Structure 1
């Protein structure tokens, strides 16, 4: 009877259907068990055995097993029923025991006449159960052996023997095309010490990785921990680098639970993993309370923050989402993210410049947004140091234009996206965003609507930021430029920043500046060194010196600002100074930004 494993080890193909194979196995198991039981009962004296009675009991066992097997669905098509799940094993056991009990009861009535001892059936039942389950177990071992990754696949250590690690190993060990072969599990849980996870031994704790890698010949370390934070991942990378191991990571546990493990889930460790933090806990009810069913407008929708904000806002069911930007390509990209197409034939995208006051007022009066997220801004510090007027026109006057338009139509909630450089500002960028915060606070104090600002630091991977720049320089084998070996910055992932911005819009009070918790500042030099190490290239690092207006260490909270957190553990509320629009003065702004000679006039 030829049985072969299919292409992916998922199906059995042979000359006999699987159901028939299973029934024949069970029939032979019963006949064998009856024969052995009778022979043992009569102490191998074959002449004392009533072979006619043996045949009738054997036929009865086969028929009963067939009927019970059909009723319990033991003989369906499919490979899994050959070696069985837990439910299949239970059903097989039930069928064998029931058949055995029926035969034992029959032996009580006809045993004496047919010379079949009641003790024979008590011996036959466990024998038949062992035979039936043993055949399935051996079949399972055979199938799993044929399904295992090829011997030339990459030997891997699995960091984490929990749910994710178990599912990962199960996938690897059941896919002959898997490029990775688990050779050991690393887990600090003492309950798993010297255990096996899906047949793969737990060989030690995190501190044992070097020895285990040497003993097993592992070339890869896979992180299968759902709540692995950046600190752990940095430790993993350092350990892997010391021991010549590559590193890959698995997705979060909710992804594994909902969709299972897939071959493309494994990905290389990225610099974002090393800088990112735990997922943000947001109160969905607070967010939906002011977004769901409302007309929402996002300025700067084509930028990194703006586009992610649009993606997140769309999840909360706004009545209308208006995406405004002066960059038509950026609008096309955000439309693809939100609507799944880039046709640009919808009024969901608005091509306009916040510098144009009349255009802003016309758009607001026509579309009547109820919630506004103002993310449009110029953000490159050294560029604005060279062209401070551009910062004044966009970050100050542009913000004022949007605020005035919002006030004209009675916007319910206005959220101004600010930056950590607005705290004790020393640059044109910082001063321009600080003035934007003050203008927003003034509208908040002089309106029945809610106007507030949200301040946070650098966003990992945003367009034109440090990480994409470093990545490109490394790809082109060019040296990485770092301003100073001691310089640090705050970092946050784009999704985390946007989730906190949405949360802030729900809990913020009018006129406040809400400051997002950015965690600990990160050394730029360390980031550069890690990115070079991850690339495997020999890249130089060049120190250029701090640029004009640039700080060595950024601040999130300015002098005189409080850090009260009444509603959310990652959002601080600070009182913002206000500035009336009629008190704006370009010369005073330039003086404060260091672009005009000092005068005795009042400074903003």
Structure 2
């Protein structure tokens, strides 16, 4: 037992003693009979004993709560109200000489004394921390007077070494104006942020909002940047330890925060139903999406997780990230190119996967415009090979990872991925099995994404190259995308193309400006113009696609015309032949979709 805990137990014992003395003086004027005195003293000692034993037991099992915190107050109240108070009530009912006022008044009075002792302790502790904290602090406003903001203020008040000196709160809720949270006032709304910061000589704003749309984050970030304020944020709930705010987890506002804080909820039971205990194969397991999918699948308890990629170094990295085993001497790490049908068949025959997540693809749009045959070989023929091997060797659940560029495809990347969707639809119709595609936009932080490009350009001293000042793209973080891919695989039906809700599109120039602000360097932005095949604004659905809601609010579905693998040429003669073939295929898709629309009418 620590010294602090011993002192608290003494506080609680004295609380019972003082409440006993208070009642004895004010209620009985010390005029109780000898028998009543004996029962009163006995009850007081019994209450003290129960309090000490129960607090020690709970502390041993669950750990000690912070002194004066809501959790500790709740535990102490439960001990008194649910255990000690009933003992007094029973004694007053069964024992004639027992002073009944003790049973009714003494427990709540003791609780009041306990709360007062803890309040004094917290006040002295706060003053001691402030007095002893000789490190220079920055004057700070906390944006958000909810639970998260209150927790931040508590942490700052009781930290032994804090960099922040909170001067008040900002909150957009009219009902919270002029309230106090602990030692601090709510001084205004978001519209008053700059004025209050200037009046109070504030250097830093802590954004204490766990869930908020992207517009809120962008607005606050823009105001802070324009007025020289340092913006610090609490992390999203999924990044917190146990869902709790901690001072060391506060961080600078970054590009991921531009996407806002949308709660991504998944039905783990439905996902586990098709993954747990199954043999699961992930193609492209060394890539950004494939590796994160593999990590999330691993947590769901497959009987075997098979990682397939043609890049041995990336396979080594993902294996290390999953379980720390970098030996690469087991048959669940597979070096194979999906273009090689014979090699794939051998792997599938040996491993017999039951679930396949197909993430292998070439994805760099301008590169595939120059080398369309490579896109054809991997994205179209490679997907055809994986689908055929899956059908031949008993895979009953197949999820093809697609892209928003497959909707109204204008690029080689979009067209080859569109063909992959159609091939998947064909196998679903032929087999009736859960073969489906999942379509989404850019993932923030994936290999080759704008983040890597812009950061590399910043390291070189600039400039950052952006195609167009108004170009927008849909973004999602890698973990969010993979969570929804797993969920889509659980709720999709054969042949569906499940389309993830990517939120609001983000201007690429905003991402560039945020990274420049983070770097603290004077970097210019150079606009180069849209490249061949690029769109100014991506779409998740083509004009001819009829979207339908799914069982998940962030996932819709569309149908795409099936494409018989027999109609896919094995090897076009060259670049021009591939481009002509893709254009013919695009025209046939538009015709098929128009026929679907006409039949529905």
Which TM class, normalised by the smaller chain length?
A: 0.7 to 0.9
The 1:66/1:199 distance shift into structure 2, 3 A limit, reads farther
Quick one: which of 340, 364, 367 aligns to 1:380? 364
8 Å contact kept, 2:143–2:209: yes
Q: How many Å separate the matches in 1 of 2:21 and 2:399?
A: 79
The answer to whether the 8 A contact 2:492-2:498 is kept is: yes
1:541 and 2:520 aligned: no
Larger Rg: 1
* Residue 603 of structure 1, CA deviation: 7.9
Q: Distance in 1 between matches of 2:8 and 2:579?
A: 83
Q: How big is each residue's C-alpha offset from its partner over 1:434-487, in whole Å with a ceiling of 9 and x where there is no partner?
A: 222222222223224332222222111111111121122223322100112222
Structure 1: 5+ residue runs without aligned partners? 1-9, 42-57, 109-125
Q: 2:506 aligns with which of 506, 517, 522?
A: 522
CA 537–91 in structure 1, closer or farther in 2 if over 3 Å, else same: same
Aligned to 1:72: 51
Offset of 1:409 from its aligned partner? 0.6
DSSP 3-state at the match of 1:298: strand
Range that drifts further, 327-336 or 299-308: 327-336
Residue matched to 2:557: 572
Is 1:143–2:121 an aligned residue pair? no
Structure 1 residue corresponding to 2:418, chosen from 434, 441, 454: 434
Q: Which residue number corresponds to residue 295 of structure 1?
A: 279
- Taking the aligned partners of 1:521 and 1:487, their CA distance within structure 2 comes to 10
For residues 336-388 of structure 1, the C-alpha deviation after alignment (integer angstroms, 9 at most, x for no partner) is: 33224333233222111112111100000111111111110111112122222
Q: Equivalences for 1:157-196 in 2 at 5 Å?
A: 157-196=141-180
Deviation at 1:209, TM superposition (A): 1.2
Q: Does structure 2 retain, via aligned residues, the 8 Å contact 1:517–1:572?
A: no
- Corresponding position of 1:493: 477
CA deviation map 1:235-259 (0-9, x unaligned): 1101212332211221345766835
**Is the 8 Å Cα contact of residues 213 and 260 (structure 2) preserved in structure 1?**
yes
Match of 1:326 in 2: 310
Evaluate the alpha carbon distance shift between residue 544 and residue 61 of structure 1 in structure 2; reply closer, same or farther with a 3 A threshold: same
TM-aligned CA distance change 1:416 to 1:322, over 3 Å: same
Q: CA deviation at 1:80?
A: 8.8
Q: Contact 1:27–1:62 (CA<8 Å) still a contact in 2?
A: no
CA shift for structure 1 position 207: 1.4
Q: What's the CA shift for 1:197?
A: 1.3
> Alignment partner for residue 182 of structure 2, among 198, 204, 207?
198
Change (3 A) 1:80 1:69: farther
Contact map agreement 1:81 1:88 (CA 8 A) in 2: no
Gaps of 5+ in 2: 30-36, 100-107, 590-601
Describe the shift of the 1:343–1:199 C-alpha distance in structure 2 as closer, same or farther (beyond 3 A): farther
Cα distance in structure 1, aligned partners of 2:110 and 2:397: 74
Asked if the contact 1:565/1:573 (under 8 Å) is kept, the reply is no
Q: Is the 8 A contact 1:164 1:253 kept in 2?
A: no
Residue 146 of structure 1: CA displacement?
1.0
Cross-structure match for 2:380: 396
Q: CA deviation at 1:185?
A: 1.4
C-alpha contact (below 8 Å) 1:508/1:514 kept by paired residues: yes
Give the number of aligned pairs: 564
What is the alpha-carbon distance in structure 2 between the residues aligned to residue 511 and residue 146 of structure 1? 66
Hey, what does 1:231 align to over in structure 2?
A: 215
Q: Any idea what the Cα deviations from partners look like across 1:61-116, whole Å, max 9, x if unmatched?
A: 99997775445339999999998947669999999xx9xxx9xx99x9xxxxxxxx
Counterpart in the other structure of 1:418: 402
Partner of 1:347: 331
Residue 66 to residue 80, structure 1, CA distance change in 2 (3 Å): farther
Q: 1:338 to 1:252 in 2, by over 3 A?
A: same
Partner residue, 1:357: 341
Indicate if the aligned counterparts of 1:164 and 1:256 stay in contact, CA closer than 8 A. no
How far the C-alpha of 1:174 sits from its partner, in A, is 0.9
Distance 1:129 1:377, change over 3 A: closer
* 1:480-500, Cα deviation, whole Å (9 max, x unpaired): 001122222222221222122
Of 473, 476, 481, which aligns to 2:460?
A: 476
After TM superposition, the structure 1 = structure 2 runs for residues 99-138 of structure 1, keeping only pairs within 5 Å, are: 137-138=119-120
TM-score by length of structure 1 reads: 0.79
Secondary structure of the 2:282 match is strand
TM-score, scaled relative to structure 2: 0.79
Please give the secondary structure, in 2, of the residue aligned with 1:258.
coil
Deviation at 1:511, TM superposition (A): 2.8
- Greater mean deviation of Cα atoms: 25-34 or 470-479: 25-34
Q: Measure the CA separation in 1 of the matches of 2:415 and 2:167.
A: 57
**How far apart, in 2, do the equivalents of 1:346 and 1:33 lie?**
75
State the match for 1:47 in structure 2: none
CA drift of 1:417 comes to 1.3
Counterparts of 1:4-23 in structure 2 under 5 Å? none
Which residue does the alignment assign to 1:55?
none
Indicate how the Cα distance of structure 1 residues 127 and 333 shifts in structure 2: closer, same or farther if over 3 A, else same: closer
**Mapped partners of 2:224, 2:505: distance in 1:** 24
Contact kept? 1:74, 1:92, Cα under 8 Å: no
Q: Counterpart of 1:584?
A: 569
Q: Secondary structure at 1:445's aligned position in 2?
A: helix
- In structure 1, distance between residues paired with 2:218 and 2:412: 35
Q: Distance in 2 between matches of 1:424 and 1:28?
A: 78
Name the CA shift for 1:588/1:265 in 2 (closer, same or farther; >3 Å). same
Does residue 503 (structure 1) correspond to residue 491 (structure 2)? The answer is no
Cα deviation for residue 517 of structure 1 reads 2.3
